[in-house]
Structure 1
Amino acid sequence: MDRRTFIAGCGAAAALGFAGEALAFSSSRLSVEVRGDGPDVILIPGLTSGRAVWDGTVRALPGYRYHLIQVAGFAGDPARGNASGPIVSGVANEIARYIVEAGLTRPALIGHSMGGIVAMMIAARYPSRVGKVMAVDILPSPASGFGFAGVQVAPLADALFNGLMSSPQGRGVLDALIGGFGGSDVANSRSDSAVVARATHELAVMDLTPELPKITAPLAVVYAVPDIPADAAAVDRLYRGGYARAHGARLQRVAGSGHMIMYDQPQRFYAEVRAFLDDRP
């Protein structure tokens, strides 16, 4: 855990009277900042994003103890342990360890994009540690969202990954793409290009669909649809099919939004999160 996060966490913890287990946790793959007081909620950002992506949500929905994840290598944080090894599953395993070491009892998990994959992975592989899960704008097979359903994605992903990482020119292209991911959050553009490339490759070849039946916690899926009716209907079909094997998954569309729903439709997003958190498992 970096020094600034530790100091900030200590101050917040002392003020709220829970300076203890959560702050003892240390990981080379992520850090955790604790804010607020109440039932425990773990917030997991997506590819290139930092914990700041959740600032509006935390402000809009007080009354919870939020555990905000920062993935090493994203949004200006050094790569540290994510410089090697699996990133997506590595982060999932570390959050599962954090739940135990921080003494959390079946917290709610909310993850955006890659963070949604991480949240579902934890729920499927460590079901006793999770109270409920919300996945935001992500399919269990992320490549299917880009029209690759039924296609052998691995060779394409391997070729793209190797091409981008094998030369300074390729890394330059990747850095430019990462800058475009940042949107209104400039910190996102400071993500480590090698970490982003490896995480993107993992997501491209990943399919959590076979693991969906292992998720026993309530699962909510919030996804964005465009204003064009025909396109919106196609996205609806994609999500219904993608989550067909999830027991009782509740799917909720958000119209007129891009991928960053918390920025594009904040009030609607906060309402969905509030409904999710208020519905006790």
Structure 2
Amino acid sequence: MKHRTFTLMAFLFTSLTALAGDFDFKVTVHGEGQPMLLIPGLSNAAEVWDSTVEQFKGQYEMHTVTLPGFAGQPPLQNTEGFLNQVRDQLLAYIDQHGWQQPVIVGHSLGGYVSMLMAIEQPNLFEKIIIVDAVPFIPALTMPGATEENSKAMANGMKAQMSSQSEQMRAASLDMILASMITNPEHIKLAKQWGMDSDPASVNQAMYEMMTRDIRDEIAVIQTPTLVMGSWVAYKIYGMSRERLQQSYGAQYAAMPDQRLAVTDTGKHFIMWDDPEFYFATMTDFLNQ
């Protein structure tokens, strides 16, 4: 047992040391079994997956990611094309490890990145789990949105965020996170990650998600995909459960093998807000 433990620790130390030199993101490895890559949302740290790790580390070797520029991780040298750079580095990480048919889990921006990876390599993953993310954010609440007519809004948002002082950023996070998370301690944690993030990286990532429509591109993805959505997160914008389901369904209409499950109580951070729904839905999908 001592030899096995030492070998495992040596492997993890070696892989993480190599990782620091080869990639701009940080990875922590937990558990044993089939590889599972977990990608967090905008400005979040890998620790957002802690409860997911505890639930599944007995079945999966779980690689939790903190993306460059988020939650204290050093940013990319050039943030232009942020999402494509992240996509390519994550695919290179999978290739470096020689994984066959891993599972990928992504929350929010992480779900969008998961789709970008699967578009690039449609047969790479065994299963995909997307937690409250869509292929084109503007169209979720504005059905007529296009890449072109979303650019003005995205540019305005990017300019506004770029001009914020630290105090303004903190106030903005307070307002945004209260609509996304219920538990005050979780809000506090997510706010700290946000304050520790590089504003240029956050702004560029958000801009790219708002101006690239991949609703048609996901048609190439053959992988069974679970999409978990939250209508409560959009209730403040006048969204009903029925309208959310219709909007989500339209977003994923081109993807051949997908199922949608909607929580009735959880906000955007479903893994924190409605763990019973989250774990039951995820377990059922993984066991199929």
Shift in Å, 1:276: 2.4
Alignment of 1:26-105 (within 5 A): 26-61=21-56, 62-79=58-75, 81=76, 83-105=78-100
CA offset at residue 171 of structure 1? 7.0
Partner of 2:230: 224
Cα distance, 1:247 vs. partner? Answer: 0.2
Residue identity in the other structure for 1:188: W
Matched, 1:242 2:251: yes
Question: How far off is 1:126 after superposition?
Answer: 1.3
Output the CA distance in 1 between the equivalents of 2:14 and 2:259. Answer: 33
Change (3 A) 1:88 1:143: same
Maintained 8 Å contact 2:140/2:251 = no
Deviates most, 124-133 or 260-269 = 124-133
Shift of 1:153: 0.6
Match of 1:15 among 8, 20, 37: 8
Distance in 2, matches of 1:88 and 1:208, equals 13
1:90-239 equivalences in 2 (<5 Å): 90-147=85-142, 149-150=144-145, 152-165=149-162, 167=163, 169=164, 173-174=168-169, 176-178=171-173, 180-181=176-177, 183-185=187-189, 186-189=191-194, 190-226=196-232, 231-239=240-248
> Could you state the TM-score of these two structures normalised by the residue count of structure 1?
0.85
* Change in 2 beyond 3 A, CA 1:277/1:159: same
Counterpart secondary structure, 2:279: helix
Does the aligned pair in 2 maintain the 1:21–1:103 contact within 8 Å? no
> Aligned pair in 2 of structure 1 residues 148, 75: CA closer, same or farther (>3 Å)?
farther
8 Å Cα contact 1:31/1:71 also seen in 2: yes
Distance 1:16 1:267 in 2: 33
Instruction: Indicate the percent of aligned positions where both proteins have the same amino acid.
Output: 26
TM-score, normalising length: structure 2: 0.83
In structure 2, relative to structure 1, the CA distance for the partners of 1:102 and 1:139 (3 Å cut) is same
Aligned to 2:281: 272
Instruction: Write the distance in 1 (CA, Å) between the matches of 2:247 and 2:118.
Output: 22
Q: Which amino acid aligns with 2:254?
A: R
Shift of residue 248, structure 1, vs aligned partner: 2.2
The amino acid of 2:274's aligned partner reads Q
Match of 2:260 among 235, 251, 255: 251
How far did 1:183 drift?
1.5
Give the alignment's Cα RMSD to 1 decimal: 2.7
Specify the alignment match of 1:6 in structure 2: none
Secondary structure at the aligned position of 2:216 is classed as helix
Q: 1:242 & 1:22 partners in 2: Cα distance? A: 37
